[in-house]
Structure 1
Amino acid sequence: MRPNITININTPYLTIDAFSTCTGLSKSTIRDMIADGRLPVRAKSADMKRGKVLINMLALYTDASEGCNISLQPNL
């Protein structure tokens, strides 16, 4: 049986600046990771093409849990 864990995600989306601060990665590295698909981002509608890029933290936590033998239940 897989154990259940609960993760409290304070912010489901982070800007590139905030993600850089949290991870210590440079903004250019983050942009490269977004461009090649290593970081999931919130989709923008056609009328918001110039809006801020938002990194999907819930998708990152979910992806990270797939390699473990756990059942992830995010608590937003």
Structure 2
Amino acid sequence: MRPNITITIPTPYLPLDEYCRLTGMPIGTAREMVRDGRLPIQPKGNKPRALVEINMEALTVRALSECHISLQA
């Protein structure tokens, strides 16, 4: 029997500046990663000048899928 592991993501979306503060990534690098799709963001809809927020849930799922483990959402 395989163990179940629960992962809690306290903040599903982080503003870009807070993501950079937590990870130590320069803001310019993060903006480039958003532009080329390496960092997933919350859709802005009809507000192109809205705050850029990093989708932490998508990043977590991506990281876990690269570990070749079975996921259930």
Q: TM-score range by the shorter chain?
A: 0.7 to 0.9
2:60: which partner in 1? Answer: 61
- CA 1:18/1:72 → structure 2, altered by over 3 Å: closer, same or farther? farther
**When the two structures are superposed, what TM-score results if normalisation uses the length of structure 2?**
0.86
Residues 5 and 71 of structure 1 are in contact (CA less than 8 Å); yes or no, is this contact kept in structure 2?
no
Q: Which sections of structure 1, spanning at least 5 residues, go unmatched?
A: none
Structure 1 residue 7: deviation in Å? 1.1
* Percent identity (aligned): 51
Structure 1 residue 3: deviation in Å? 4.2
Structure 1 residue 50: deviation in Å? 1.3
> Does the residue aligned with 2:61 lie in a helix, a strand or coil?
helix
User: 2: CA distance between counterparts of 1:13 and 1:73?
Assistant: 20
- CA 1:35/1:72 → structure 2, altered by over 3 Å: closer, same or farther? same
1:12-51 paired onto structure 2 within 5 Å? 12-46=12-46, 48-51=47-50
Letter in 1 for 2:21: T
Residues 4 and 72 of structure 1 are in contact (CA less than 8 Å); yes or no, is this contact kept in structure 2?
no
2:9: which partner in 1? Answer: 9
Across the aligned residues of Structure 1 and Structure 2, the Cα RMSD in angstroms comes to 1.8
**When the two structures are superposed, what TM-score results if normalisation uses the length of structure 1?**
0.83
Quick check: which one's strand share is greater? 1
Structure 1 residue 70: deviation in Å? 2.9
Letter in 1 for 2:61: T
Structure 1 residue 72: deviation in Å? 4.0
